[in-house]
Structure 1
Amino acid sequence: MYDERRERRKMRVLLGIAILASLTVLAAVIPSPYAIERPGPVVDTLGDVKIKDETMPVISISDAKTYPTSGELNLLTVTIVGGPEHPASWLSLVPALVDPSQRIAPRSEFFPEGESEKDREAANTVMMDSSQMQAAAAAFRQLKQPVTVHLDVAGVSEKGPAEGVLRKGDRLVKANGKDIVDFVDLRKSIVAAGADKPLDLVIERDGKEQTVSVTPRVPDGGEEPMIGAVLATSYTLPAKVDISLSQIGGPSAGMIFALGIYDQLTPKPLLDGLTVSGTGTISDTGEVGAIGGLTQKMWAAARAKSDLFIMPMENCADLPSTIPSDMTVAPVKNLDEAIHAIETVTEGGKPAGIERCETP
């Protein structure tokens, strides 16, 4: 017997299912203006990595005595899903809404206007290379070994003070008669010289030293005088350090690299079997700086069953309300504090934790 009401209900249900299916298909193919930040690969810097079918140590040091290590020293990464060339669909955002280890943010936060995925990758590669050199310098300085800093001209600003005076490849040796120790030291010399006054620089060009004069100027919108040159920093170290990684970029592994180098160069194993994970940029003098994606990296550390998570003090404001797995967290300002935090845990103690973040 034909039941008109039942047939209508059936049609409404089928129509609702069809509409829902259509919306789901559209959500799966229509790109959104958002990207997803999620935990990325975890790499043990005291272990090996496979690159192009060849297995090699992540950190290798030649021309210096090294010692056995134990435990895991993990660098942490984040993965960004939803770049300009491969945007995330609306449907792909749904899992991130209920996963505390993932974060949804406007794509422009990760890819400024006009920047492609390749541009970001190239910039991250440069920053990774720089962080590796700074990490090695910081580790050797922590061991009281000599480190020499070199400042080389990587480029000269058009119509800037250095145009026609400095060339790409010049190495800066002295400023106003004083040896240049590092970039910070050079900046102090430029500021001390003042704007619109000649600054004598001793440079090395084609293997020979010569003296040139540059008149620093305060750029539009700036506050301090500059010479209008892009400088690249390099180091002469007591030993050669090679770091082998693939498809990982950015500067945030600097502190972990420094700890790994330090561990190999000291007789006593630093970790003593612990699993330590961490993140933080590092300067060549050992200062630990802020990073992005703190929450995602904390979740990665928890999933790696870390005994200790080391983070920059500068990221205290980014701490999530809930620490994954009640992990032991040690905020640090420099390499020395990071080493001390690890040593405290290996000795059975508890390092200064997130209560440091609450202290002005």
Structure 2
Amino acid sequence: MTRRTATLVTSIITLVLTLGLVSLFPVNFVSFSPGPVKDTLGQAKDQPVIEVKGYETFPTNGRLDLTTVSVTSPGRDLTLPQAMRNWLDPHRDLFPRDVIYPPEQTEAEAEQESTAEMTGSQDSAVAAALQEAAVPFHPKVSSVSKDSPADGKLKPNDVIYKVNGVAATKVPQVGELVRKNKVGDPITFLIRRGGKEQTVTLKAAATPGDPKRPMVGITVGVDSPVKVTVNLGQDIGGPSAGLAFALAIYDKLTPGPLLDGKHVASTGTIDALGQVGAIGGIQQKIAGARDAGATVFLVPGSNCAAAMHADVDGIQLVKVETLHQAVTALTALAKGSGEVPACTP
């Protein structure tokens, strides 16, 4: 073997070994890819995905899919070749790890946070759906902020009857009645706790960032005979299924099938007032919905610009800002007439 040949062989071996070693090192990125879809009007492990008891329900038809994104977990690292494959795949995205996960967050902490967000989204979906379906209920305390005026005085599950003597019959009314006061004013709540009525007086504090806006430090949900169970186990987390949950609950509580046999998919957070919020991974969710056969996709308004970059061939993107707007759009689609807001470039 000549010196030149030996040098060439040595160089090639060194290059191969170097590339092999580099490919084993983790890169500080996580991948987003299309995740599973679940029909919220269907079954999961021989149980309804959304089970409603304590109130009259009505038959539904069609499919109403919640959509998900598969995200690299905090306990898993991507190698360079894996990251490159994700980067080249039009249905996947790469993000710096610290954009998605706090630097010190463990896998167990991430799962716990995701589960808590899912539970919160279910509570908000129930509140929004009951209001949209005009089902009677009383507002109740869902959570109390630490070191707020309500801390130690109001408790989760306290049912709210009146605020400063005025009956509160809807979730938004509680906040509206609080905001009629000034910072520092006493605010009296008539509540039921443990089967007994009692009066609690709080001193309104300033909202962080808005010194003139009064607050007491509670979030509000609903107390109702309607009991909703979501049978999805621990497979799905996060808050982005809120809109799908709310629509499924609404469809079951109101006469006449909302979808009229259509296959609809959706994403979006929802609050107790029925406002739909933005989510991550919209392009991956649209890809997953299209692969599952959906022909309509409900998109939070603030996600519309990103949604237009997805492969939307064969799927109609409907822009929604509130639960009421989503219901109105689906009703129009079922009837074949009426306004259906669209995501546009």
TM range (shorter): 0.7 to 0.9
- Determine which of 223, 227, 252 is the counterpart of 1:264: 252
Partner of 2:93: 103
- For residue 132 of structure 1, report the CA deviation from its aligned partner: 2.2
Amino acid at match of 2:66: L
- For residue 213 of structure 1, report the CA deviation from its aligned partner: 2.9
Give matches, 1:296-307, under 5 Å: 296-307=284-295
Q: Distance in 1 between matches of 2:71 and 2:329?
A: 30
Provide the alpha-carbon RMSD of the alignment.
3.0
The secondary structure found in structure 1 opposite 2:37 is: strand
Partner of 1:41: 36
Amino acid at match of 1:132: Q
The secondary structure found in structure 1 opposite 2:115 is: helix
Is contact 1:287–1:334 with CA below 8 Å preserved after alignment? yes
Partner of 2:22: 23
Partner of 1:60: 51
Would you say 1:240 and 2:223 are equivalent positions?
Answer: no
Would you say 1:174 and 2:162 are equivalent positions?
Answer: yes
The secondary structure found in structure 1 opposite 2:205 is: coil
Identity percentage of aligned residues:
31
The structure-2 alpha-carbon separation of the partners of 1:232 and 1:32, relative to structure 1 and needing over 3 Å to count, comes to farther
The secondary structure found in structure 1 opposite 2:35 is: strand
The structure-2 alpha-carbon separation of the partners of 1:196 and 1:265, relative to structure 1 and needing over 3 Å to count, comes to closer
Amino acid at match of 2:13: L
Amino acid at match of 1:141: Q
Partner of 1:217: 205
The structure-2 alpha-carbon separation of the partners of 1:56 and 1:315, relative to structure 1 and needing over 3 Å to count, comes to same
Is contact 2:50–2:248 with CA below 8 Å preserved after alignment? yes
The secondary structure found in structure 1 opposite 2:185 is: coil
Amino acid at match of 2:40: T
- For residue 336 of structure 1, report the CA deviation from its aligned partner: 3.4
Amino acid at match of 2:62: G
Q: Distance in 2 between matches of 1:155 and 1:284?
A: 15
The secondary structure found in structure 2 opposite 1:210 is: strand
- Determine which of 87, 112, 117 is the counterpart of 1:127: 117
Q: Distance in 2 between matches of 1:147 and 1:91?
A: 55
Give matches, 1:163-202, under 5 Å: 165-166=153-154, 170-182=158-170, 184-202=172-190
The secondary structure found in structure 2 opposite 1:193 is: coil
The structure-2 alpha-carbon separation of the partners of 1:141 and 1:205, relative to structure 1 and needing over 3 Å to count, comes to closer
CA displacement, residues 231-261 of structure 1 (integer Å, 9 cap, x when unaligned): 4533314x33222112212222122122222
CA displacement, residues 268-311 of structure 1 (integer Å, 9 cap, x when unaligned): 33333322111122234433222222111111112112111111
The secondary structure found in structure 1 opposite 2:68 is: strand
Q: Distance in 1 between matches of 2:15 and 2:197?
A: 80
- For residue 81 of structure 1, report the CA deviation from its aligned partner: 0.2
Partner of 2:9: 10
Is contact 1:46–1:57 with CA below 8 Å preserved after alignment? yes
Q: Give the paired residue count.
A: 343
Partner of 1:157: 146
Would you say 1:316 and 2:304 are equivalent positions?
Answer: yes
- For residue 204 of structure 1, report the CA deviation from its aligned partner: 3.4
The structure-2 alpha-carbon separation of the partners of 1:262 and 1:32, relative to structure 1 and needing over 3 Å to count, comes to same
TM-score (norm 2): 0.85
The secondary structure found in structure 1 opposite 2:192 is: strand
The secondary structure found in structure 1 opposite 2:236 is: coil
CA displacement, residues 78-133 of structure 1 (integer Å, 9 cap, x when unaligned): 122041x3333334311111112211112222222443332332233233223223
- For residue 168 of structure 1, report the CA deviation from its aligned partner: 6.4
The structure-2 alpha-carbon separation of the partners of 1:351 and 1:169, relative to structure 1 and needing over 3 Å to count, comes to closer
Q: Distance in 1 between matches of 2:331 and 2:268?
A: 18
Q: Distance in 2 between matches of 1:112 and 1:317?
A: 27
The structure-2 alpha-carbon separation of the partners of 1:117 and 1:184, relative to structure 1 and needing over 3 Å to count, comes to farther
Amino acid at match of 2:134: K
The secondary structure found in structure 2 opposite 1:325 is: coil
Q: Distance in 2 between matches of 1:341 and 1:197?
A: 43
Partner of 1:81: 72
- For residue 40 of structure 1, report the CA deviation from its aligned partner: 1.4
Is contact 1:36–1:82 with CA below 8 Å preserved after alignment? no
The structure-2 alpha-carbon separation of the partners of 1:231 and 1:137, relative to structure 1 and needing over 3 Å to count, comes to closer
- Determine which of 308, 330, 343 is the counterpart of 1:342: 330
The answer for unaligned runs of 5 or more in structure 2 is: none
Is contact 2:141–2:156 with CA below 8 Å preserved after alignment? no
The answer for unaligned runs of 5 or more in structure 1 is: none
Would you say 1:281 and 2:280 are equivalent positions?
Answer: no
Q: Distance in 2 between matches of 1:171 and 1:64?
A: 19
